[in-house]
Amino acid sequence: MHYLTELKSKNLSKEICVLRVDFNVKDIKDALRLEASLPTIKFLLKRGAKVVLLSHRGRPKSKKSLNEFSLKFIAKFLAKKLGRPVKFINHFDFQKIKEAVIKAAPKSIFLLENLRFLGGEEKNDAELAKRLASLGTFFVNDAFAVSHRKNASVYAITKFLTSYAGLLLENEIKSLDKVLKNPRQPLILILGGAKISDKIGLIKKFLNKARHILIGGGLANTLLWTKGIDIGQSLYEPKMSGIAKGLIKNKRVVLPNDWLVYKKQVLDIGPLTIQRFNEIIKTARTIIWNGPLGYFEDKRFRRGSAAIAKAISRSGAFSVVGGGETTQLVLSLGLKNRIGFLSTGGGAMLEYLAGKKLPGINALK
């Protein structure tokens, strides 16, 4: 695999980089992914390259959603952060786009509209990939969070241009490899969030690698229910009872022993559990955390997740934290710089850590 950092001492002023980033954010406050895209863009500009930015955003289903899912507001964000104009292109007339890019001065920046407005993106359409590739002289994938998808701008495009992994993608791969391959022991895995079915690949992969797997959130509800505990109207997944039966017998799996109930729902881990999880976290030298331990969007049920975030930030362990909601929580607590690595990947991180080969990364090899 080639990394963009290999071009560190190159002059790129005659080059046009087609750069796939992940601007799949709710709004401008959803800063982790936006901020994480900046180092690669700056790297390219510093060496004189023109940059054509590609991204998707959300799941636009109909023409009605064009405004809702536009990338336009991100051009403003980038212009401000980079101190240069960013030309937003609101059409897909590739001939015209190409002419504009060729005419532009070195270090010009273009941002195309949401690629999911085109049917071919998610179908990995070769024609679309070819058109996107025609806009530049080389390709960089910096969109770790969508690298588990075989999409035209992530996968098929690599057949048409020399392709590199960007700075963010490189950082993701190296940080995740650190916990996946020969992690310093004891390794503690902390899992929460909504569905155990989303995370079962990761659990299986780490069942023999992790000293303890601490479980909260909707995942714990499913396991508590399997144990026969009355969880009322709580969020859980009855279809996962088979796998759950195995997990509740496993000594490495640590379940909550107290919890907060509101309107017949288990919505957070309780104080005794926080204390117990804290004690275990103190012993760790490597920590992986994905998924909030309660319904943290409501302040009343954020205590468990916040306590765990703080315990991780205080521990001397190397930590990797990922997941859309989990990283949002860490940012809101101001703990970003006290975590070893905050992954921009949700599903992509789960798949990578479960040992799956991600198509967008493999295509660079």
Please indicate whether residue 324 is annotated as part of the active site: yes
**DSSP H helical segments within 47-160, as ranges?**
72-82, 94-103, 126-133
What contacts 202, CB < 8 A, 6 or more positions away? 189, 191, 290, 350, 353, 354
Residue 191 binds ligand ADP (CB under 6 A): no
Quickly tell me which residue has 């969070």 as its tokens: 145
Q: Which residue in the list 48, 58, 201, 347 is annotated as catalytic?
A: 347
Which of 136, 166, 183, 193: binder of ligand ADP (CB under 6 A)?
193
Nearer to Mg ion, 22 or 325 (CB): 325
Round the CA-based radius of gyration of the chain to a whole number and report it.
22
Please indicate whether residue 270 is annotated as part of the active site: no
Residue 291 binds Mg ion (CB under 5 A): no
Q: How far is the CB of 222 from ligand ADP (least distance, A)?
A: 10
Q: CB–CB of 126/159 below 8 Å? A: yes
Which of 136, 166, 192, 256: binder of ligand ADP (CB under 6 A)?
192
Collapse the DSSP code of 173 into the 3-class scheme (helix H, G, I; strand E, B; otherwise coil) and give the result: helix
Residue 182 backbone class (left: φ over 0; alpha: ψ -120 to 50; beta: rest)? left
Residue 236 exposure: Cα atoms within 13 Å on the Cβ side: 24
- For residue 354, give Cα distances in angstroms to 105, 148, 166, 169, 206: 44, 12, 22, 17, 8
Please indicate whether residue 57 is annotated as part of the active site: no
Q: CB–CB of 220/255 below 8 Å? A: yes
Work out what residue 297 binds among ligand ADP, Mg ion, none; the CB cut-off runs from 5 to 8 Å by kind: ligand ADP
Write out the H or E segment, with its range, that includes residue 39.
Answer: helix 38-46
Which of 149, 346, 352, 363: binder of ligand ADP (CB under 6 A)?
346
Nearer to Mg ion, 177 or 297 (CB): 297
Which of 113, 142, 268, 325: binder of Mg ion (CB under 5 A)?
325
Please indicate whether residue 347 is annotated as part of the active site: yes
Work out what residue 295 binds among Mg ion, ligand ADP, none; the CB cut-off runs from 5 to 8 Å by kind: ligand ADP
For residue 299, the 8-state DSSP code is: G
β-bridge pairing 259-262 and 265-269: antiparallel
Residue 192 binds Mg ion (CB under 5 A): no
Which 272-311 positions form the footprint of ligand ADP (CB under 6 A)?
290-292, 294-297
Which residue ranges make up the site for ligand ADP (CB under 6 A)? 192-194, 198, 217-218, 221, 235, 266-267, 290-292, 294-297, 323-326, 346
* Residues belonging to the active site: 33, 195, 324, 347
Which residue ranges make up the site for Mg ion (CB under 5 A)? 324-325
